[in-house]
């Protein structure tokens, strides 16, 4: 069975490595996205917390783009009055793009009956799959808060007007607010990590990608590296295309759920 490199941010990667290893898969973490707090956006983030912490309900729903969005939004030292149960008491729905984010919400005390996301057997875990489940909730005049990350150095408003989910909400008569909870940046490889990455470019290792941004960071970390002999497993068609563009010689796709990823890996010769 192939060795697998999990390229998610460190905290997410650690959980995935543990879950894959529990299934007998030789998994190792090589985080390709660094997650940091976003000091420049703290005022807006705190204002959003306060709007949610006190009745009446200001938002119909809060969409958390990732588990990291959940963790940074519910930081106890910043939001002492805001808990998952308080969110539920305000009758505000919690939207997620996939099961990892839903798990983070459950860990923060949000009741399962208040969380909406794609079906467990959905073909993809993304905004499109989420919207298929939550579209009937949005009524004219409703507001939705999107808690997201931003690439380091990205202006706070970049991309908001072009966001696919926001466009759907606007079309339904709703309004969307965005708040940046954390920043995504490139990792700083140490010497062992660089050596690991270069070996994995040609030794049959399976690179597990869940982000196109991670692939871009890898290219910048190892300029000039030949990826023609490298194998990538992507959890979304857009990510698969990014891997092909980066030069990966073999690119496969599978559904993003852990069970599907594990089954694919076990099927590899």
The full set of domain ranges for the chain reads 4-33+187-267, 37-185
- 37-185 and 4-33+187-267 share a CATH fold: yes
Task: Of 55-59, 75-79, 179-183, give the lowest mean pLDDT range.
Answer: 75-79
pLDDT of residue 94: 93
**130: pLDDT confidence band, cut at 50, 70 and 90?**
very high
For all residues of the chain together, what is the average pLDDT?
Answer: 87
37-185 folds as Rossmann fold (3.40.50)
**24: pLDDT confidence band, cut at 50, 70 and 90?**
very high
List pLDDT tens digits, range 148-201: 988 865 554 444 335 889 999 999 999 999 999 888 999 999 999 999 999 999
Q: Give whole-number Cα distances, 54 to 47, 81, 95, 147, 250, in Å.
A: 11, 9, 19, 18, 52
Other C-beta atoms closer than 10 Å to the C-beta of 49 total: 20
Task: Of 74-88, 213-227, 242-256, give the lowest mean pLDDT range.
Answer: 74-88
d(C-alpha 210, C-alpha 139), whole Å: 32
pLDDT at 39 over 80: no
d(C-alpha 141, C-alpha 89), whole Å: 21
Identify the residue with better confidence: 223 or 56: 223
List pLDDT tens digits, range 112-125: 988 999 987 787 88
Query: Residue range 51-73: average pLDDT?
Result: 84
pLDDT of residue 214: 96
Q: Are 96 and 65 in contact (CB under 8 A)?
A: no
d(C-alpha 176, C-alpha 170), whole Å: 7
Rounded to 5 degrees, φ, ψ at 152 are -55, 130
Rounded to 5 degrees, φ, ψ at 76 are -65, -30
Task: Of 64-78, 91-105, 109-123, 248-262, give the lowest mean pLDDT range.
Answer: 64-78
Query: Residue range 23-42: average pLDDT?
Result: 90
Which residues face 6 on adjacent strands? 29, 208
Pick among 3.10.350.10, 3.40.50.720, 2.60.40.10, 3.40.50.10090: CATH of 4-33+187-267: 3.40.50.10090
Q: pTM of the prediction?
A: 0.81
d(C-alpha 18, C-alpha 39), whole Å: 31
């Amino acid at each position: 069975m192939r060795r697998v490199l999990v390229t998610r941010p460190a905290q997410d990667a650690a959980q995935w490595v543990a879950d894959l290893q529990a299934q007998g898969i030789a998994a190792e973490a090589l985080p390709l996205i660094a997650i940091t707090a976003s000091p420049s956006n703290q005022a807006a983030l705190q204002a959003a917390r306060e709007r949610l912490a006190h009745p009446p309900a200001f938002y119909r729903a809060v969409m958390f783009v990732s588990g990291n969005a959940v963790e940074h939004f519910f930081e106890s030292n910043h939001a002492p009055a805001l808990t998952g149960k308080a969110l539920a008491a305000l009758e505000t729905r919690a939207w997620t793009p996939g099961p990892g984010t839903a798990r983070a919400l459950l860990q923060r005390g949000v009741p399962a009956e208040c969380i909406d996301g794609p079906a467990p057997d959905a073909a993809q875990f993304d905004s499109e799959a989420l919207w298929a489940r939550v579209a009937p909730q949005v009524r004219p005049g409703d507001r939705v808060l999107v808690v997201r990350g931003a690439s380091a150095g990205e202006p706070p408003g970049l991309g908001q007007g072009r966001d696919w989910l926001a466009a759907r909400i606007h079309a339904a008569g709703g309004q969307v607010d965005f708040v940046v909870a954390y920043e995504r940046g490139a990792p700083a490889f140490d010497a062992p990590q660089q050596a690991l990455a270069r070996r994995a470019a040609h030794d049959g290792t399976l690179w597990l990608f869940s982000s196109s941004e991670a692939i871009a960071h890898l290219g910048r970390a190892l300029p000039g590296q030949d990826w023609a002999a490298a194998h990538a497993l992507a959890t979304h068609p857009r990510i698969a295309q990014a891997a092909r563009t980066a030069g990966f010689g073999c690119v496969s796709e599978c559904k993003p759920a852990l069970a599907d990823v594990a089954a694919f890996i076990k099927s590899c010769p």
